[in-house]
């Protein structure tokens, strides 16, 4: 099939398409609303469009859809989905319920090539990038399934968002449009393992989202043992990029810090971390890791996480502990996909 997914087109791209097809300019806005506000799953639903135009669209395009392969709901209300793509690949999406609204954690790639040793998503490598329309459909599918509005998005599922830069930027344009579901940039958080050149590229866009950097260790030796990306972009380069990002955008960076027993959870490490990010006013999100089959790491106990947080706070760092959600439903990214493949990620 040589058709293209039309849900991945941004509003300017649809305007060009409509012009190319000899249609009046207002059709682009109508088409975008059908795809992203009304979330039509077939061209036949677009009842205010000329039949000849719809037929021409159907010849060239398809509307990206996801099929629910598996759904798990935790006792805390978290819902985890294993979605199947038209090409047979599977991705994971999680809907989390908070007092301020529903957050959907989306995947941006099928698999991941970053190789972080505590993460199930990377076992098996990257298969392909997701399109902007596929990422958007993760949000739409979760909202449709629960019948509840999604108010926040985190790009922290399977894949490295900045390794799929162009499609992710198109997704952000689509999902924040007033003619679609209109989720504001300040309600969106993008997580990266630290691709330094792409952090600078993102800064140029001044998007207003929250950049969340997976730091996990304050020294090169410690971080490289956990995250191979540190061999390419070491801690000093990464922190400099984060400081430059803050200066360029006026937006504070958030640091994700997975607590691993006996690796990065000592008082000495907390002091090094506080020194490393001194003066940034950054937020540190401490994460008790979920158990992952095949990983050599185990989670720090709750008492030690609390001690680590208290010490950071005493040293002037704004540190919180992430609420653990969905631990009873294979909550770690990539686990449900592995289980569906009989323990593989291919």
One domain, residues 190 and 42: no
Within a domain: residue 193?
yes
Q: Phi and psi of 101, rounded to 5°?
A: 140, -175
Within a domain: residue 1?
no
Which CATH number belongs to the domain containing residue 22 in this structure? 1.10.150.530
Give the pLDDT score at 345. 38
One domain, residues 153 and 219: yes
- Triad 118, 245, 179: Cα angle to 5°: 90
Cα(317)–Cα(286) distance, rounded to whole angstroms? 12
Give the pLDDT score at 323. 73
Per the DSSP assignment, residues forming a β-bridge with 4 are 61
The annotation places the binding site for [4Fe-4S] cluster at 112, 116, 119
Cα(163)–Cα(49) distance, rounded to whole angstroms? 37
Mean local confidence (pLDDT), 45-71: 96
One domain, residues 81 and 57: no
One domain, residues 56 and 158: no
Is residue 244 over pLDDT 50? yes
Within a domain: residue 338?
no
Q: Is 333 a catalytic residue?
A: yes
One domain, residues 58 and 124: no
Alpha helices, H only, the chain: 11-20, 26-36, 51-60, 132-146, 165-175, 196-203, 220-226, 235-249, 267-276, 302-314, 335-340
Sign of the four-CA dihedral 193, 196, 197, 198: positive
Within a domain: residue 99?
yes
Is residue 182 over pLDDT 80? yes
The pTM assigned to this predicted structure is 0.91
Give the pLDDT score at 344. 41
Read off the pLDDT band of 324 (50, 70, 90).
Answer: low
| Start-to-end CA span in the chain (Å) | 22
Task: Give the active site residue among 92, 134, 138, 256.
Answer: 92
Cα(32)–Cα(179) distance, rounded to whole angstroms? 7
Q: How far is CA 184 from CA 103, 107, 187, 281, in A?
A: 13, 19, 5, 23
DSSP states of 190-233: EEES--HHHHHHHHTT----EEEEE---SSHHHHHHH-GGGGTS
The annotation places the binding site at 112, 116, 119, 159-160, 191, 214-216, 290
Cα(253)–Cα(240) distance, rounded to whole angstroms? 12
Read off the pLDDT band of 221 (50, 70, 90).
Answer: very high
Cα(239)–Cα(230) distance, rounded to whole angstroms? 12
Which CATH number belongs to the domain containing residue 182 in this structure? 3.20.20.70
Do 17 and 24 meet the contact criterion of CB atoms below 8 Å apart?
A: no
Is residue 337 over pLDDT 60? no
Cα(219)–Cα(270) distance, rounded to whole angstroms? 11
What is the pLDDT of the chain when averaged over all its residues? 91
Cα(332)–Cα(290) distance, rounded to whole angstroms? 6
Within a domain: residue 337?
no
One domain, residues 36 and 101: no
One domain, residues 132 and 249: yes
Give the pLDDT score at 335. 58
Mean local confidence (pLDDT), 163-187: 98
One domain, residues 211 and 77: yes
Within a domain: residue 334?
no
Per-residue model confidence as pLDDT tens digits over 284-315: 999 987 765 556 777 788 899 999 999 999 99
Is residue 11 over pLDDT 80? yes
Do 287 and 326 meet the contact criterion of CB atoms below 8 Å apart?
A: no
Per-residue model confidence as pLDDT tens digits over 85-123: 999 999 999 999 999 999 999 999 999 998 888 777 777
- Triad 333, 334, 340: Cα angle to 5°: 135
Give the pLDDT score at 249. 97
Residue 166: give the domain boundaries: 72-329
Task: Give the active site residue among 90, 193, 242, 333.
Answer: 333
The annotation places the binding site for S-adenosyl-L-methionine at 159-160, 191, 214-216, 290
Is residue 217 over pLDDT 60? yes
- Domain total for the chain? 2
Is residue 1 over pLDDT 50? no
Within a domain: residue 253?
yes
Is residue 189 over pLDDT 60? yes
Q: Phi and psi of 234, rounded to 5°?
A: -65, 170
Q: Pairing state of beta strands 188-192 and 210-214?
A: parallel
Between 116 and 62, whose confidence is greater? Answer: 62
Domain boundary among 41, 62, 83: 62
Give the pLDDT score at 83. 97
One domain, residues 293 and 155: yes
- DSSP character for 324? P
- Triad 67, 68, 69: Cα angle to 5°: 105
């Amino acid at each position: 099939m040589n058709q293209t997914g039309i849900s991945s087109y941004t509003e300017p791209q649809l305007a060009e398409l409509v012009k190319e097809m000899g249609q009046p300019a207002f059709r682009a806005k109508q088409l975008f609303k059908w795809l992203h506000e009304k979330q039509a799953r077939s061209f036949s639903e677009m009842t205010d469009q000329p039949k000849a135009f719809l037929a021409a669209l159907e010849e060239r395009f398809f509307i990206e859809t996801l099929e629910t392969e598996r759904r798990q709901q935790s006792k805390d209300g978290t819902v985890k989905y294993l979605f199947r793509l038209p090409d047979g690949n599977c991705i994971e999406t999680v809907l989390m319920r908070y007092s301020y609204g529903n957050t959907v954690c989306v995947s941006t790639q099928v698999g991941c090539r970053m190789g972080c040793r505590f993460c199930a998503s990377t076992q098996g490598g990257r298969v392909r990038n997701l399109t902007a329309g596929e990422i958007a459909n993760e949000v739409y599918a979760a909202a449709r399934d629960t019948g509840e509005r999604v108010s926040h998005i985190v790009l922290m599922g399977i894949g490295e968002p900045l390794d799929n830069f162009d499609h992710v930027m198109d997704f952000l344009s689509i999902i924040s449009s007033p003619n679609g579901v209109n989720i504001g940039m300040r309600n969106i958080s993008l997580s990266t393992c630290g691709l330094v050149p792409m952090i600078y590229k993102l800064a140029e866009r001044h998007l207003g989202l929250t950049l969340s950097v997976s730091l996990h260790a304050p020294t090169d030796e410690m971080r490289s043992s956990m995250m191979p990306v540190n061999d390419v972009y070491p801690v000093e380069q990464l922190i400099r990029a984060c400081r430059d990002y803050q200066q360029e955008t006026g937006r504070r960076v958030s640091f994700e810090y997975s607590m691993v027993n006996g690796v990065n959870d000592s008082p000495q490490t907390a002091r090094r971390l506080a020194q490393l990010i001194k003066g940034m006013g950054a937020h540190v999100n401490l994460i008790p890791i979920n158990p992952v089959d095949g990983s050599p790491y185990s989670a720090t106990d709750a008492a030690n996480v609390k001690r680590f947080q208290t010490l950071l706070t005493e040293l002037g760092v704004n540190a919180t502990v992430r609420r653990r959600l969905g631990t009873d439903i294979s909550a770690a990214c990539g686990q449900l996909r592995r289980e569906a493949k009989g323990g593989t990620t291919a």
